[in-house]
Amino acid sequence: MLVVRGRLREHAKETLQTDLQHSIQTFQDLQARQRAALQRENTLLAALPTLRALMIARDTITISDGARDFWKLSGNDLFALADQDGRVLATYSTVQNEHDELSASLQKVLFAPGKHYLTSGGNLFEFAVTPIYFGAKESGTLLGYVIGGYRIDHELLQEVGRGAGAEAIFLVDHRVAASTLPNVQQNALLPVETSQGTAPVLLQLNGQRYLAASSDLSSRADVPVHLVVLKSLVAVDRAEAEIRSVILFAGLLSIGVGCVLMLLLARSVTAPLERLASAVQAFAEGNRDYVLPSGGPREVRFLSATLAEMREEIQRKNTALLEAERLATIGRMANSVSHDLRHYLAAIYANSEFLASPTMPPEERAELFEEIRLAVNGTTDMLDALLLFGNTGSSLRRSPASVASVVERAILLVRSHPDAERVTFKMSEVSEDTTADIDARQVERAIYNLLLNASQAAAEGADAHVVVISITGLQDTIAVTVQDSGPGVPDGIRHSLFDPFVSKGKQKGTGLGLTLAHSVAQEHDGCVELVSSRPGETIFRLTLHRRAQGSVSQTHMDDLVIL
């Protein structure tokens, strides 16, 4: 269809070019006939005795007055009389108040060879000159000349254009003198005016496309004159639009048929592949019972059987890997707590033996009892941490509580810990409302762990041992910031701070403090983050949401299953 459209367009263009050449020739033939008619009219007028008698008078005023009757008799747009020397004596035309300028223009071209066009005041005339003789032409006396012409205007061009089947424009001195089209701008005609010969040019005039050709008539006038003939491309554009519509319809129909064929192809060929891909995705999401496709092409059946074997092998390997991971986690936990637990038990055992001595003074008994109490409390804290770690992820017992009060209780608990004896706690004044729906027990334990870690770090600092606590309440969240004056977090554990049993650089502890704080914050739709860390300043921030946001977050750690 595209090829047909292109060939039709070329054929239409060639036809219009031929029509343009015929139209130009028709215009020129019509003008030649009009000039011949002018010549015959002038010949008839020149043979009138009254006109000959008028010319014999040799008086300019008499000839000028008498010429008016002959102008009316001729019915032409232009009528003039000249003496035997070519001097224009009288000029009359249908153009008002232009007689003097018209006489001057006529005087210039009257006897110029081959001139048939006259321009005056923006008007274009075609004229013919016939001599007036007293007696016969061969033996008579030349009395003067009679000039007749017609004005080339819109009405004339319309009459001629209907005969030629085209639109026409006359350009005089690069300006539009007459046109069958309204409101034609000269700059739009510049391409055809400057074209070589009569080669057709595509133009856009008044919102329509035209094919135009020009004929240079400057040799017949005293100024540049061009005849521009135009053929409208409306019919061609309409036919091309119809062809485009057919092409579009055929294209859409082809697309529709192709889509139907593709759907049929997908159902017969690619549907088993889609089911196989769904089986792979289901296995990746943990669905191990998804039924694999058993039909389809041979390649799909082969892939399905291979995937089934691979799925069984992955399940076996995964089971073994989980078992090994459980054992490794138990080993890490045992290695983490065994040293501290053994230390506490040894202190309890040794001090118990000393207490059994009957000769020990009461003061020493009290000191030994205090050491036993501290060892028992340490063991209890360790067991509480392990139990809380094991229970992380269970349902929360939320109730409205003041986070500031929870922080104060946690500070009181930390102050009684031996690691906080030399540490100064400073809490910024809280002006915002810190009420939130929280599990106060778990949040208190999380803040306690952060404060204890900060106390242990501050105690290792070179300068003052200070821990600063501040609380910030926003519309939806509450943030608790803990800043210590310790040496900072080692670079080697900054990316694994919140993993369980990470306690690098600490002499004691299970390595569960930050893990528990992070898990509790997540269950309250918040987080714990290391804001900054450098020698002399380490800042941790715990963020909690004031209200529960849907389901409670679950920690994704396999160690919870083990514990």
Q: What is the pLDDT along the chain (563 residues), one digit of tens a residue?
A: 677 767 777 777 777 777 777 777 777 787 788 888 888 888 888 888 888 888 888 788 888 888 888 888 888 888 999 888 888 888 888 887 667 788 888 888 887 777 888 888 778 888 888 998 988 888 888 888 999 988 888 777 777 666 666 788 888 877 887 887 877 766 667 676 666 555 677 777 777 788 888 777 877 777 788 888 887 777 777 877 888 888 888 889 999 999 988 888 777 767 777 777 888 888 777 777 777 777 777 777 788 888 888 888 888 888 888 777 766 666 666 555 555 566 567 667 777 777 777 777 887 777 777 777 766 766 776 666 666 555 555 556 788 999 999 999 889 888 878 788 888 999 988 888 889 998 888 888 888 889 988 888 888 877 788 999 999 988 889 999 999 988 888 877 777 677 765 555 454 555 667 888 888 888 888 999 988 888 888 999 999 988 876 543 333 333 333 33
224 within 8 A of 205, measured Cβ to Cβ: no
Same domain, 169 and 277: no
Q: Is position 11 within any domain?
A: yes
CATH number, domain of 78, equals 3.30.450.220
How much is the pTM? 0.41
Q: Is position 292 within any domain?
A: yes
Same domain, 416 and 514: yes
Same domain, 126 and 216: yes
Same domain, 263 and 403: no
Same domain, 283 and 188: no
Q: Is position 318 within any domain?
A: no
C-alpha to C-alpha distance for 428 and 426, rounded to whole angstroms? 7
Q: Which of 164, 158, 190, 175 is nearest to 24 (CA)?
A: 164
Of the residues 296, 321, 337, which one is the last residue of a structural domain? 296
C-alpha to C-alpha distance for 206 and 201, rounded to whole angstroms? 16
Per-residue confidence (pLDDT) for residue 554, from 0 to 100: 39
Same domain, 53 and 87: yes
Amino acid identity for residue 294 in this structure: S
Per-residue confidence (pLDDT) for residue 281, from 0 to 100: 81
Q: Is position 161 within any domain?
A: yes
Same domain, 243 and 142: no
**Which structural domain range is residue 268 located in?**
233-296
The CA distances from residue 473 to 391, 479, 544, in Å, are: 28, 6, 10
Per-residue confidence (pLDDT) for residue 560, from 0 to 100: 33
Q: Is position 344 within any domain?
A: no
Same domain, 42 and 147: yes
Per-residue confidence (pLDDT) for residue 391, from 0 to 100: 56
CATH number, domain of 544, equals 3.30.565.10
C-alpha to C-alpha distance for 210 and 191, rounded to whole angstroms? 12
Q: Is position 364 within any domain?
A: no
Of the residues 174, 205, 231, which one is the last residue of a structural domain? 231
Same domain, 34 and 23: yes
Angle (CA) 245-247-248 rounded to 5° is 65
Same domain, 409 and 548: yes
- Domains identified in the chain, total number: 3
The upper half-sphere exposure of residue 312, i.e. CA atoms within 13 Å in the direction of its Cβ, equals: 6
* Residue 499 three-state SS: coil
Same domain, 118 and 241: no
Q: Which of 352, 379, 380 is nearest to 368 (CA)?
A: 352
- Residue with the two structure tokens 């701070």: 497
Of the residues 274, 296, 318, which one is the last residue of a structural domain? 296
Q: Is position 452 within any domain?
A: yes
Per-residue confidence (pLDDT) for residue 76, from 0 to 100: 87
Same domain, 270 and 191: no
Q: Is position 305 within any domain?
A: no
